[in-house]
Amino acid sequence: MLKLVGVMSNRSSFAIRRSLRYSAKSTITINNQTADCSFIFRRRQRQAFFSSSSSSSTSTSSSSLKDFFNPTDTHVQLRSMLRHFVQNEVEPQALEYNRSEKFNLPLLKQLGDLGLLGLTVEEEYGGYGLDATATALVHEELSYSDPAFCLSYLAHSLLLVNNISINGSSEQKQRFLPTAISGEKIGGMGMSEPNCGTDVLGMTTKAVLDESTKLWHLTGQKMWITNGTLDGGKTPGDLFLVYARTGPGRSDITSFIVEKDMVGFSVGQKINDKLGMRASPTSELVFDDVPIPSENIIGDVNGATLCMMRNLEIERLGLAAMALGIARRCINVMKDYANERKAFGKPLTEFGQIQSAIATSYAEYMAGRCYVYAFANNLNLHSHGNGLDADGTKLYCAQMAKTIADRSIQVLGGYGYVGEYGVERLWRDSKLLEIGGGTNESHHKNMVRDLRRMPDLE
């Protein structure tokens, strides 16, 4: 069980989050291990912490690249806190939850205790007010151990919480965000449908205003919804941002907040037996004439297309960062294994083809990591029109992670093909990154459209 100690022991979770940000003496204890949570780290302390805290430390990177991936003390501190959390809480449950296709809801709620469910939300609504770099960092670290758990985190913290935070009114933020950030309510976002995914503006779920009651009536189905159900398919999750057609034009789309207990809202089916991301619950959601008050409309009526595109940009950054966690883990596993394992009297690392697998993977991973952080370090979460590199980072990193996971299995031979070393799970999980949040082909389409509109690259 995770608890915060020291100067923060008796405070509310919101106060704890504020302490995490400002205190120079804060600590966090996870399973009796204590990590310094000060955001005011001295450089030498920071380096010592990194070199001793985790096998996942990128100790061979030059210090300038470390700064690039952790541009401020806040990012350094956040990463070290995440590494402890992942090592102690996420890693031990990952294989079991994957095998049993169970969702670890209590663990996601623990991220609420740490304030991470509202990473990008302004402080006045209970969030941290952090940036796109922090978003990339958290997704990278969680996926080092458990991409499926991270996918559920992404659906809640980015697709729901960040979307309301960027596009909602202050009344809506007061109403919906505190319980979503604390983890009391967990949900996601409904965009895809049984008959349309890539062609998202072809959606048929619709909402019609009843002028007499002033209620909107939502009818249709949403497919593949992460966190769609949290209890194995009996009832829907707590809160969803759902896109629906509200006018005759192709872009006449409006976003609605749909709450668990609304009349006519149910789970169509829990989707089981997925290739990967098995510990993240996916389901079909059904809306049967669900009455929704206007106060639950996020943004303008017929004005959700821009919000949707902007939210897709941060979603794609999160998914690209997840690919980095997968790739880094697979490289660590294959290099350690190849060092230990002997064939023909020498370690596998002595063979050229194995060297090629490890070295090429490292170079590709670093290329992807530089692209992701170059994009994230310059991304203003309130801006839009960043699609080229949102698509580009995800396109590159998803394929990179899958290729590296594949090489990792190959380097481990038969041991790579079974669950123990984790790389087969990461390979299966990585495939989702080529489909969810936009398929590779949709990225090709979007990127060429954007490149054709741009002047020549400089």
Ligand X SMILES: Cc1cc2nc3c(=O)[nH]c(=O)nc-3n(C[C@H](O)[C@H](O)[C@H](O)COP(=O)(O)OP(=O)(O)OC[C@H]3O[C@@H](n4cnc5c(N)ncnc54)[C@H](O)[C@@H]3O)c2cc1C
Residues that bind ligand X (CB under 6 A): 155, 188-192, 197-198, 224-226, 274, 277, 282, 432, 435-439, 441-442, 445
* d(C-alpha 333, C-alpha 411), whole Å: 9
Q: Catalytic residue at 420?
A: no
- 243 DSSP β-pair partners: 255
Helix (H, G, I), strand (E, B), or coil: what is residue 438?
A: coil
Would you give the distance in Å from CA 102 to the centre of its chain?
18
Which among 311, 343, 458, 327 is positioned nearest to 412, based on CA atoms?
343
Q: Which is nearer to ligand X, 21 or 102 (CB)?
A: 102
Would you give the distance in Å from CA 334 to the centre of its chain?
25
Q: Which is nearer to ligand X, 277 or 327 (CB)?
A: 277
CB of 183 to ligand X, least distance (A): 18
Q: What tokens appear for 3 in the block?
A: 């608890």
Residue nearest ligand X, Cβ-based: 197
CB of 195 to ligand X, least distance (A): 8
What's the DSSP call for residue 193? Answer: B
Q: What tokens appear for 388 in the block?
A: 């080229």
CB of 325 to ligand X, least distance (A): 17
CB of 191 to ligand X, least distance (A): 3
Which residue of the set 89, 284, 313, 315 is catalytic?
315
* d(C-alpha 109, C-alpha 275), whole Å: 25
Residues 166/118/260/298 CA torsion (nearest 10 deg): -10
- 426 DSSP β-pair partners: none
CB of 196 to ligand X, least distance (A): 6
Q: Which is nearer to ligand X, 57 or 163 (CB)?
A: 163
How large is the greatest C-alpha to C-alpha distance in the chain, in angstroms?
83
Q: Which is nearer to ligand X, 118 or 437 (CB)?
A: 437
∠ CA 191-326-84 to the nearest 5 degrees?
Answer: 105
Is residue 201 a contact partner of residue 246, using CB atoms and an 8 Å limit? Answer: no
What's the DSSP call for residue 86? Answer: I
Is residue 258 a contact partner of residue 242, using CB atoms and an 8 Å limit? Answer: yes
CB of 157 to ligand X, least distance (A): 12
Is residue 395 a contact partner of residue 401, using CB atoms and an 8 Å limit? Answer: no
Q: What tokens appear for 216 in the block?
A: 């909107």
Q: Which is nearer to ligand X, 206 or 274 (CB)?
A: 274
Q: Which is nearer to ligand X, 282 or 408 (CB)?
A: 282
Active-site residue set: 315
